[in-house]
Structure 1
Amino acid sequence: MSTPEIELDRPSVEPSTDPPQRSRPHSFRPLILRLHFYAGVFVAPFILIAAVTGGLYAAAPTIEKFVYSDILAVDDGGAPLQLTKQAAFAQTAFPNLQITGMRPAATARESTRVYFADPSAGAEKQRAVFVDPYTGEILGNEAVWFGYLPLSTWLDGLHRHLQLGEPGRIYSELAASWLWVVALGGLYLWWAKRRRDKLRPSERAPSKRATSLKWHSSVGMWVLLGLVFLSATGITWSTYAGANVKELRTEMGWERPSLDTTLGGEHAGHGADPSVAAPTVPIDYDQVVATADRAGVELPFEITLPAEPGQGIGVAEIDKSFRSTTDAVALSPTTLAVTSKIDYARDYSFVAKLADWGIRLHMGFMFGLLNQLLLLAIAIGLLTVIVRGYLMWWQRRPTRGSAWAVGRPPQRGGIRRMSPIAAVLTVGAAVAIGWFLPLLGWSLLAFVVVDAAIAGVKRARTTPATAPPAKY
């Protein structure tokens, strides 16, 4: 009687026949991975600061409602005083200053702002006097910058140039120029990893670094569109890249139209300093509001008095939640006849409208509190991505050796492993983008030079002293 054979399951000990994992000649992954790493380590601090300051600035309109509630909000008192009388009450607070404009109350619970030219307020600033439209009481005054209250003005300066003036704008331009590169590079790496995981699924428990990577990439995908949008709109305000954007828009006819306030059709006097006093001209503000309303310019808007003889009165719509237009008219100071008009639907090109809407979305004005909360969520998401990125860098450090060791960068030589055509196209694209975005181009060149220098030093240290000289 024969004993039945019992087969036992055993783990296979046969050597793997799979070829070693290598990048395909045309793969962009090694290059993008190394670029993503360098940008994440060295540029992320600038992006981090921009995210924090931008999140604060986005919340400024809501914060200001509480900070300046004593001068912005009033009780509904029925029929308001005539705007001319409100301006007269404001004049009593600063009898030696000249009125330059007004922002009439747009709702029954808002105060009226009367603007004065005040050299003591600072460059490009005016003195805004806040008047109760029902009693004429002076609620207070603030130095404003193009209508923005001090809190918004300060946070705007912090976000744009860290309160360092024009030189500080380099930080924000560097952040805006690299943000879209980091975001789209992360998208490519996320897609490449998902594709690789489908082909070779792993049954091992995820490591701490794998968990950090999952958070890093998942949150990055959620805020990806927002990051690219903020990068594109932020670049339009920058110093060097912004000049190229402006030149492109001029060449293509994509500029925002300017209101012609010159009487007689000439274009002199545009862009007058708001702190310059207007000539003494008796203005019937109530008739100005009525004429502007008939012309299709709706509250809230600001009235700007002529800064010099031969100029008209400008009336332009200002930002309001869920408003998509910025219509404006110019009026004759004597007859209040409409001398010029900007019809948003007719006079703005499609690209100019997109640019205008993008700027207002970037600033948190387009959809009010909803817009501000969305920007705040993107800022928090970006902070999460950056912190997780640095955590991965730390978790990748060697476990032996110096206590100050950090994670090694991904393997270099990504361009050398590409096909010649892909390499030429990549370098050409980098040069073109670097020309249009100068700070990105110069910083990228600095990365390449420093990386090449480090590689040269390492090769010199590892080359045996007895090795024959290299032949070229």
Structure 2
Amino acid sequence: MEPAPSTTETATGRDSERPPPRPGAWAQLRPLVLRLHFYAGVLVAPFVLVAAVSGLLYVWTPQIENALYADQLRVPAAEESLPLSEQVRIAEAEVPGSRVDSVRPATTPEDSTRVLLARPDGASGPQPTVFVDPHAGEVLGVAETYGTSGAMPVRTWIDLLHRELHLGEAGRLYSELAASWLWVVALGGFALWVARARRRRARRLLVPGAGTAPGRGRTVSLHAATGVWLLLGLLMLSATGLTWSKYAGANIADLRGEMSWTTPAVATDTPSANPGVDAGLDAVLASAREAGLDGRVSVEVPGDHASPYVVTQIERSWPTRADSAAVAQDTAEVTDVVRFADHPLMAKLSRWGVDVHMGVLFGVPNQILLTAVAGGLVWVIVLGYRMWWQRGPVRAGTAGPGRPYPRGSFLALSWPLRAAVVVFLAAVGWAIPVLGASLLLFLLVDTVAGWRGRRGPRAG
């Protein structure tokens, strides 16, 4: 009779028959994140690179404008100025048959007055603008300006380059694609680097190249640690860029409307008690000033004989001045005022985020910060492509880019994680349609490539 197995042997045998424990959630997700980060970095990075370079150029357009258009924007200071209504009359005479749409009075004695004329087609976009010397009453020039910032032609050209590559509506897909993927790549890279660096000294997480020898490891460290420093800036640029986009921007606008996060506007539905009677621009501006609308303002001139004037502050530097007032056309009395201080918090955050994105909220420090972020992003992209090249085979005197990370990372997930990934990607794809469509395209291309790769060896 054989001796009975010991308790230790029995336990050891049972343990050897048990399946190994399933890795944790991050250990399962890491290969999928790594593959997605790789594909997005290789395929989307060119669009992000163009957006970064054109955005870097746009940041400094205020200084470029002041240098190129000094003769139209600045005038010799003087104590006396013509009435605003007279300045408008001079501007309308410069372009026969035109009608004033809005006026931006000179703020300082060295500023010119801008008289924006209504577009003949009534559409939105750049407007013919007459620049008038408020002291001498001379026309300084006529140019097209655009937007609340009053962008001059050179800034408008650079803005369209950044936004749509001068390709119209179809070109907007490029910038939306860049903004849609920027946050995905940034957060994915951050997660990968933190998981890798936490096993080492924390210093390596934030110091590019720390403790690494020359080669691909050093490139990875430079790429990842620089990305950590840029993370908040990249997320801000991505979020604010999406608010301007066509498809995700529409969803954001709908969300803001449903949550009452929209920017309130003054009531303009109260008609004049004396239609046809106009108190004039000077009286309207004086009433708005008394209501506290100081600094730079835009006076919107009504297109009929009953609607009120609308005066709006257009100072976007800190502290933001964006109060607005409706002023009766016949009596020049203020009928409604909306203060920026009373805007919903999300409306304020949206305003500030857009102004930071444009580099105007904090002036030159804002411009310097954006320059650092955009320049750092270009550097990270260059390092990313270098990493790809360094992964490639180097033998027999040849070199080339590395292959994508292996397939099968999604199927290796547990069923709960698979379901969570699918639900998350579906929700993000619905909210950010260009991201969802491009991800599906990546999956299709990858599937076809994988099918051809499997079929090739069998055919051979």
TM > 0.5: yes
Aligned equivalents of 1:281, 1:97: Cα separation in 2: 21
Counterpart residue number, 1:336 = 332
Counterpart residue number, 2:187 = 184
SS of corresponding position for 1:191: helix
Counterpart residue number, 1:77 = 78
> Of residues 398, 409, 415 in structure 1, which corresponds to 2:404?
409
Counterpart residue number, 1:380 = 375
Counterpart residue number, 1:245 = 252
> Does residue 1:292 correspond to 2:295, yes or no?
no
Counterpart residue number, 1:223 = 230
SS of corresponding position for 1:299: coil
Structure 1 length-normalised TM: 0.84
Q: Indicate the larger mover: 403-412 or 374-383.
A: 403-412
Tell me the CA shift for residue 135 of structure 1.
1.5
Tell me the CA shift for residue 404 of structure 1.
7.5
Tell me the CA shift for residue 123 of structure 1.
5.8
Higher RCO (Cα < 8 Å, 6 or more apart): 1
> Does residue 1:326 correspond to 2:322, yes or no?
yes
Aligned equivalents of 2:270, 2:142: Cα separation in 1: 32
Q: Indicate the larger mover: 105-114 or 455-464.
A: 455-464
SS of corresponding position for 1:143: strand
Q: Deviations over 1:264-298 (max 9, x none)?
A: 49xxxxxxxxxxxxx99755322222110111212
Q: 1:374 to 1:456 in 2, by over 3 A?
A: same
SS of corresponding position for 1:65: helix
Q: Deviations over 1:174-226 (max 9, x none)?
A: 11110000000111011012024459x9x996232222212211221111101
Q: Indicate the larger mover: 329-338 or 447-456.
A: 447-456
Gaps of 5+ in 1: 1-21, 266-278, 466-472
Q: Which amino acid is 1:66 matched to?
A: A
Counterpart residue number, 1:153 = 156
> Of residues 329, 352, 355 in structure 2, which corresponds to 1:357?
352
Counterpart residue number, 1:166 = 169
Tell me the CA shift for residue 456 of structure 1.
2.4
Q: 1:205 to 1:110 in 2, by over 3 A?
A: closer
Aligned equivalents of 1:375, 1:326: Cα separation in 2: 23
Tell me the CA shift for residue 172 of structure 1.
0.8
Q: Which has the higher helix share?
A: 2
Tell me the CA shift for residue 112 of structure 1.
0.9
Contact 1:395 1:407 in 2 (8 A): yes
Contact 1:62 1:369 in 2 (8 A): no
Counterpart residue number, 1:458 = 453
Counterpart residue number, 2:129 = 128
Counterpart residue number, 1:261 = 268
Number of aligned residue pairs: give it.
428
Tell me the CA shift for residue 417 of structure 1.
2.9
SS of corresponding position for 1:425: helix
Q: Deviations over 1:105-129 (max 9, x none)?
A: 1122211111223539986332211
Tell me the CA shift for residue 440 of structure 1.
0.6
Aligned equivalents of 1:99, 1:447: Cα separation in 2: 51
SS of corresponding position for 1:228: helix
Q: 1:232 to 1:71 in 2, by over 3 A?
A: same
Tell me the CA shift for residue 23 of structure 1.
9.9
Q: Which amino acid is 1:137 matched to?
A: E
Counterpart residue number, 2:109 = 108
SS of corresponding position for 1:168: helix
> Of residues 299, 305, 310 in structure 1, which corresponds to 2:306?
310
Tell me the CA shift for residue 335 of structure 1.
0.8
Q: 1:108 to 1:178 in 2, by over 3 A?
A: same
Counterpart residue number, 2:145 = 144
> Does residue 1:194 correspond to 2:235, yes or no?
no
> Does residue 1:235 correspond to 2:268, yes or no?
no
Give the root-mean-square deviation of aligned CA atoms: 2.7
Q: Which amino acid is 1:382 matched to?
A: L
Aligned equivalents of 2:88, 2:405: Cα separation in 1: 66
Q: Which amino acid is 1:169 matched to?
A: R
Aligned equivalents of 1:280, 1:407: Cα separation in 2: 74
Aligned equivalents of 1:445, 1:126: Cα separation in 2: 41
Q: Which amino acid is 1:258 matched to?
A: A
Counterpart residue number, 1:33 = 34
Q: Which amino acid is 1:411 matched to?
A: P
Contact 1:142 1:150 in 2 (8 A): yes
SS of corresponding position for 1:148: coil
Structure 2 length-normalised TM: 0.86
Aligned equivalents of 1:204, 1:286: Cα separation in 2: 68
Contact 2:279 2:331 in 1 (8 A): no
Aligned equivalents of 2:163, 2:200: Cα separation in 1: 41
Q: Deviations over 1:38-71 (max 9, x none)?
A: 0000001111111111111221112111111111
Identity %: 43
Contact 1:102 1:115 in 2 (8 A): yes
Q: Deviations over 1:381-421 (max 9, x none)?
A: 11001011011111111113795742111222222333322
Q: Which amino acid is 1:423 matched to?
A: R
4+ runs deviating over 6 angstroms: none
Aligned equivalents of 2:200, 2:437: Cα separation in 1: 36
> Does residue 1:94 correspond to 2:78, yes or no?
no
